[in-house]
Amino acid sequence: MSEILVVDDEQSMRDFLAIMLKKEGHEVVTAMNGADAIKAVQSEIFDLVITDIKMPGTDGLEVLKTVKEISPETVVIMVTAFATAETAVEAMKLGAYDYIIKPFKVDELKLIINNSLEKRSLRKENILLKREIESRAGFENFIGKSAPMLKVFTLIKQVADTNSTVLITGESGTGKELVAKAVHFNSPRRNGPIVTVNCGALPETLLESELFGYMKGAFTGAAANKQGLFEAAHGGSIFLDEISATTPGLQIKLLRVLQEREFMRVGGTKPIRVDVHVIAASNKDLLTEVTRGAFREDLYYRLNVIPVHLPPLRERKEDIPLLVDFFLKKCSRKEGDRLLVKTVDGSAMKALMNYRWPGNVRELENMIERLVIMTPSNTIHLDIIPDAVKDAPPCSSLSTMDIPDEGLDLETMLETAERTYLRKALEKAGGVKTEAAKLLGLSFRSFRHRLQKYGDL
């Protein structure tokens, strides 16, 4: 469905075109003269403008000039009963898509309209595709066979068919954007666009205009009407990365989009309805941000309909060899007809698996690329591994624990840790309690007692 403006001083022509276009499923606005048309274009973004050339006062060429100045992406078709070569040439020079002479055949006009809208759609798709190609690098890095990652894969399949908001959490570099893309490309919206927005990369005013679009003159530098990224994502998905970086003012506007599925452009007066699947991500604990007053509680619950947590790399060490192998192949090079893929020896791999990887998968990828460049032989040995990696203490979550200024509840923390290890041991042992007890160095009796303490988990 497209939004079309019909401009003609003859009411019969306006009515005819409006009826025809509405039957085709389009939304239609009409204007009886050029001045009214310009007012309409100043307050709304149209996909297509069909305008007569010869009109009293402001003629169709002036409408064309204004449309191309205010809304360059809008397609314009010129219609006239007084055709001359000069006006046709001038119209095309000013940016008209086509020029049709009255009386015209309805099928001919429909074909021109459909072709013009298809061209506009292709232009938008090309822009989105370019954004997608630029941001999609590394999609194939979504690799893992560990229990935490298998859970993530299963969850992605479960949530992909829903339209419920997804909130992805995890440290920087764990692959939150890859999960968002996996949700989109496994959903019924896979043929629609996926638009990625880094909420932490732009100041509030610029982020608002990027998300919702703006009208000409809404602020200094707003030289033309512009559709926002929510509109660009219509029929597809929008990924709001680092949502915690948004300000309270913008959070109110995002809440409205989630509740009403509509918004207003900056400087606009008309609500815009959109059909998008919203996927958000944060490397901060949003519930903690809510407690601090830095994030709206109502927005948090709107976002956290389906939570997906990505574990840090240090909690899925068994995935490191798989990732190393993948990155080695990715960094391989051709020598004649041979593809040279370097390998990592046992001691070097052990060092890589012991390291904490605070930058997660992204840091690991950068490290492998560096090692491939720095290693003269075909095998990466321990001596080429940086000291910061090979001399690091063994990976343990205890090494990063700290006591916050306000203190902590040690009993609760110890109970939480015990419950977590009991559950993880059961998962790793496939539910066999005797094996789980061995993994934790406990007697079966002690293990069973601890399970009963927490309601048998």
Task: Provide mean pLDDT across the span 385-397.
Answer: 75
Cα–Cα dist 278/275, whole Å: 10
- Quote the pLDDT of residue 349: 93
- Quote the pLDDT of residue 125: 62
Confidence of residue 129 (pLDDT cuts 50, 70, 90): low
- Quote the pLDDT of residue 386: 92
- Quote the pLDDT of residue 48: 93
Unique residue bearing structure tokens 């064309």:
64
DSSP state of 57: S
Task: Provide mean pLDDT across the span 378-406.
Answer: 73
Q: Are 271 and 263 in contact (CB under 8 A)?
A: yes
Q: Write down the pTM of the prediction.
A: 0.63
- Quote the pLDDT of residue 245: 92
- Quote the pLDDT of residue 339: 59
Task: Provide mean pLDDT across the span 82-90.
Answer: 75
Burial of 420 (0-12, 13-18, 19+ CB in 10 A): exposed
Q: Is the pLDDT of residue 400 over 60?
A: no
Span 304-361, pLDDT tens digits? 999 999 999 998 999 999 999 989 988 877 555 565 778 999 999 999 999 999 999 9
Sequence-ordered list of residues with C-beta below 8 angstroms from that of 269, at least 6 positions apart, any chain: 43
Q: Is the pLDDT of residue 137 over 50?
A: no
- Quote the pLDDT of residue 141: 45
Q: Is the pLDDT of residue 398 over 70?
A: no
- Quote the pLDDT of residue 50: 94
Q: What distances in angstroms separate CA 267 from CA 213, 219, 232, 247, one per listed residue?
A: 9, 8, 18, 19
- Quote the pLDDT of residue 401: 56
Q: Is the pLDDT of residue 293 over 60?
A: yes
* Domains of the chain from N-terminus onward: 3-126 (3.40.50.2300), 142-311 (3.40.50.300), 314-390 (1.10.8.60), 408-453 (1.10.10)
Lowest mean pLDDT among 2-6, 83-87, 91-95, 174-178: 83-87
- Quote the pLDDT of residue 71: 85
- Quote the pLDDT of residue 130: 52
- Quote the pLDDT of residue 76: 93
- Quote the pLDDT of residue 139: 38
Q: Is the pLDDT of residue 220 over 90?
A: no
Confidence of residue 399 (pLDDT cuts 50, 70, 90): very low
- Quote the pLDDT of residue 138: 36
Q: What distances in angstroms separate CA 163 from CA 37, 131, 236, 258, 449, one per listed residue?
A: 38, 23, 10, 11, 43
Q: Is the pLDDT of residue 296 over 90?
A: yes
- Quote the pLDDT of residue 152: 87
Confidence of residue 256 (pLDDT cuts 50, 70, 90): very high
The HSE-up count of residue 350 (CA atoms within 13 Å, CB side) is: 9
Span 12-66, pLDDT tens digits? 999 999 999 999 889 999 999 999 999 998 888 898 999 998 898 999 899 999 9
Q: What is the mean pLDDT of the chain?
A: 85
